[in-house]
Homo-oligomer: A and B are copies of this chain.
Amino acid sequence: MARAVDVPELVQQARAGRPRAVARLVSLVEDGHPALREVMAALAPYTGQATVVGITGSPGVGKSTTTSAIVTALRAEDRRVGVLAVDPSSPFSGGALLGDRIRMQEHALDPGVFIRSMATRGHLGGLSWSTPQALRILDAAGCDVVLVETVGVGQSEVEIASLADTTIVLLAPGMGDGVQAAKAGILEIGDVFVVNKADRDGADIAVRELRAMLRLGDRHQEGAWKPPVIKTVASTGQGVDEVVAALRDHELWAGESGELAARRTRRASGEIEAIALTTLRERFGSFANGNRLTDLAVEVVAGRLDPYRAAGRLLDGLNGG
Cross-chain contact of A58 among B92, B275, B298 (Cβ < 8 A): B92
- A158 CA / B294 CA spacing, docked (Å): 22
Cross-chain contact of A300 among B177, B272, B284, B307 (Cβ < 8 A): B272
Within 8 A of B (CB), among A29-62: 36-37, 40-41, 43-48, 58
Q: Taking A41-B309, A122-B159 as contacts, is the C-beta distance between A277 and B275 under 8 angstroms?
A: no
- In the assembled complex, A273 has its CB within 8 A of some CB on chain B: yes
- In the assembled complex, A133 has its CB within 8 A of some CB on chain B: yes
Cross-chain contact of A48 among B89, B303, B308 (Cβ < 8 A): B303
Cross-chain contact of A308 among B40, B273, B311, B314 (Cβ < 8 A): B40
Query: Contact residue range for chain A?
Result: 35 or more
**Beta-carbon contact of B268 and A307 below 8 Å:** yes
Q: Taking A92-B184, A185-B91, A315-B280 as contacts, is the C-beta distance between A275 and B155 under 8 angstroms?
A: no
**Beta-carbon contact of B94 and A279 below 8 Å:** no
- In the assembled complex, A296 has its CB within 8 A of some CB on chain B: yes
Cross-chain contact of A302 among B40, B48, B154, B276 (Cβ < 8 A): B48
- A45 CA / B300 CA spacing, docked (Å): 9
- A58 CA / B154 CA spacing, docked (Å): 13
**Beta-carbon contact of A132 and B303 below 8 Å:** no
**Beta-carbon contact of A186 and B92 below 8 Å:** yes
**Main SS class of interface, A:** helix
Chain B contacts for A88, CB-based, 8 A:
154-155
- A133 CA / B37 CA spacing, docked (Å): 35
- In the assembled complex, A199 has its CB within 8 A of some CB on chain B: no
**Beta-carbon contact of B95 and A315 below 8 Å:** no
Chain B contacts for A200, CB-based, 8 A:
none
- In the assembled complex, A293 has its CB within 8 A of some CB on chain B: yes
Contact with B along A163-202 (1 / 0, CB 8 A): 0000000000000010011011110010000000000000
Cross-chain contact of A186 among B58, B91, B132, B265 (Cβ < 8 A): B91
- A259 CA / B307 CA spacing, docked (Å): 21
- In the assembled complex, A310 has its CB within 8 A of some CB on chain B: yes
- In the assembled complex, A269 has its CB within 8 A of some CB on chain B: yes
- In the assembled complex, A301 has its CB within 8 A of some CB on chain B: yes
- In the assembled complex, A108 has its CB within 8 A of some CB on chain B: no
**Beta-carbon contact of A273 and B269 below 8 Å:** no
**Beta-carbon contact of A153 and B268 below 8 Å:** no
- A173 CA / B158 CA spacing, docked (Å): 30
Chain B contacts for A315, CB-based, 8 A:
276, 279-280
Residue positions of A touching B, CB distance < 8 A = 36-37, 40-41, 43-48, 58, 88-95, 122, 132-133, 136, 152-156, 158-159, 177, 180-181, 183-186, 189, 261, 264-269, 271-273, 275-277, 279-281, 284, 293-294, 296-298, 300-312, 314-315, 318-319
